[in-house]
Copies of this chain bind each other. A is one copy, B any other.
Amino acid sequence: MATWMARCGINARIVDKRSTKIFAGQADGLQLRSLEILDSFGFADRALKEANHMLENPGPDGRLRRSDRLPDVLPGLSRFTEIVLHQGRVERFFLDHIKKHSKNAINVERATLPESMSFTEDRLDDHSQDNFPITLKLRHLSEEEATPAQAQGSTTSDGLFRSNLTEDDTDELIRKGQSKEGNVEIVNAKYVVGCDGAHSWTRKQLGFQLEGEPTDYIWGVLDVIPITDFPDIRVRCAVHSASAGSLMVIPRENKLVRLYIQLTEVKPDASGRADRSKITPEIIIKAAQKIIAPYKLTYEYCDWWTAYQIGQRVGRSFDYRNRVFLAGDAVHTHSPKAGQGMNVSMQDAYNLGWKLALVVKGLAKPQILQTYQSERRRVAQDLINFDHKFSRLFSGRPRKDIMDETGVSMAEFKQTFVKGNLFATGLSVDYGASMLVAKEGDAAEQGDGTELYMGRAKDFARPDLATNIKLGMRYPSFKVLNQTDARSWHFQTRLKSDGRFRLIVLAGNVLAPAQKSKLEAFCELLSSSAFLKSHLHHNIAVLTLHSAKRTETELLRDFPDVLHPFDEKTGWDYDSVFVDDESYHEGHGEAYKGYGVDRETGCVVVTRPDQYIGFVGSVDEKGFEGVEEYFKGVFV
């Protein structure tokens, strides 16, 4: 969220009740879509360099032999594969990026927590620039006050204070802070986003509830350098013992391995919660040793450990009147084993951030904020359903034989695992119809009753022109060449997260006279549109991908100026026209084929600032009208 604010030049503050960032443990998996997002900001390379890369999963088995080997993700889904790196490093990359790009010196104000939030109710719907209808009281804590206690007698850092086995300490922190004077501040805000976790203070102020119940399954987590003869310790795998429970192996960076270990001997008490004081690293490793026998498993070095109780809960409302928003664990909690927590939460914020930025700048209509709930709540619901099924299969006892009806079928486990993997990549997300996605359907189908303004662009949409550029899904990537210097680029890398929409002109065969005329006519309409004039190149970047032979085409001769605008200080733009052609060193990207677009006639596409596809139309007058209507539906 703060990264978007930094990149879009929006004044924002982040407060965190804790006194430090994460240094060990917590989330660790970066899924494919998250890597694409990090890359769109420009720092996926830092994660890729440090992380462990996940390539293979031997399948599960009841008697500790490999039942199968599967690729961790299906080939061809993305330019990335799944990686694992602890959350502290991921936070570091974000913090460095925010620092570098923020004109307003956005930084995380730590040991600071909100104490109250109030509204000027009758001004909430007025999104004009000088209206700040939210009043927050912030309290600044001392370092000591903000540092949570660790488990007694432990020398390894543990994450129990963030676990759902621990009660929230926000109220206590506020009480402690109130005993002192002079450490309170009043902030007037336009918008508030609560990314404040399962115990969300923001959610409680709004009186919103999460719906769902905990299960009886208790799991421990160890980040260790394992000493073992288990052959698949460097491969993500699931081990199902006959009766001692299950464990999951997640190989990590720097020789670390994360082990998720079922604690069958720890049970919830009458209140439904397990007693966390009974859980120690010794208990967890002993449970692991029973599960993994006859293989040996010990460790000398433990980096971090925690424990949690599985449960799935989701919020009914993700926002309060488009002024206060909830993201991440504040509106959906689940078990960590599918590596979704950090990923889906970042993706919530990634969905909302640019919308807020465009509204704050006065560029976009405030109605686009409604799409946060319509788009993200369905993702959360899907996640909860997946996790519910996956957790039950994972924590259940393996079926002994076909008559054993209370046991878990390993075939079903594997099927869920494979299907879940596609979901877990984040690439199957498909946002519903709205003014931001010009497709058939309406908000009612999105299952949460949101009334959305739809716009007129869908009357001009031609999704049939691009069978693999799917309205509502993220723009896929293939390798293309820069027209001028022949450099090979993954096309997605040209869709930077800079707050701009993209108009992507798949110009087809620009050397065919008929197609050249259509392209010229389309560009003429584009450059003469009074509505688009102020937005083109500033709020809507224009990218071209043609399919003629690169060496037979010339930038200045064959492509209208609007596709590569001239600047008095820096000359022609050489970075906007690309071609689907053979490269010198990296083969042929076959992008038109990949996109499912006709090489002769092409199409035009609008992508949103988050790379999701908003409009697909034809390279002609009708396509132009669709583009114009799309932006009339979005911009003020």
Contacts and interface: CB of A to CB of B under 8 A. Distances in A.
A464 B496 CA distance: 51
Interface in A513-565: 551, 554-556
A75 interface: yes
Contacts of A56: 485-486, 584
Contacts of A227: 568, 570-571
A45 B49 contact: yes
A192 B228 CA distance: 49
A35 to B, nearest CB: 13
A23 interface: no
Tier of interface size on chain A: 35 or more
Interface stretch (A133-141, A212-220, A229-237): A229-237
A574 B486 contact: no
A226 interface: yes
Contacts of A484: 233-235
A105 interface: no
A186 interface: no
Given A69-B551, A585-B55, A585-B71, A571 B226 contact: yes
A120 B225 CA distance: 52
Interface string A566-596: 0011110010000000011100000000000
Nearest to A488: B55
B486 A55 contact: yes
How many copies of the polypeptide does the oligomer hold? 2
Contacts of A583: 55
Contact of A251 (B53, B485, B585): B485
Contact of A81 (B81, B482, B569, B585): B585
A119 interface: no
Contacts of A574: 233-234, 255
A362 B570 CA distance: 56
Given A45-B45, A568-B300, A570-B255, A231 B556 contact: yes
A487 interface: yes
A466 to B, nearest CB: 25
A301 B570 contact: yes
B300 A570 contact: yes
Contacts of A255: 570, 574
Nearest to A583: B55
Interface of A: 45, 49, 52-56, 69, 71-72, 75, 81, 225-229, 231, 233-235, 251, 255, 300-301, 482, 484-488, 551, 554-556, 568-571, 574, 583-585
14 contacts: A53-B485, A55-B488, A55-B584, A55-B585, A72-B584, A75-B584, A225-B571, A226-B571, A229-B556, A234-B482, A234-B485, A251-B485, A255-B574, A300-B569
A-B interface, 7 closest residue pairs, ranked by CB to CB distance from nearest: A227-B571, A71-B584, A55-B486, A234-B484, A234-B485, A56-B486, A300-B569
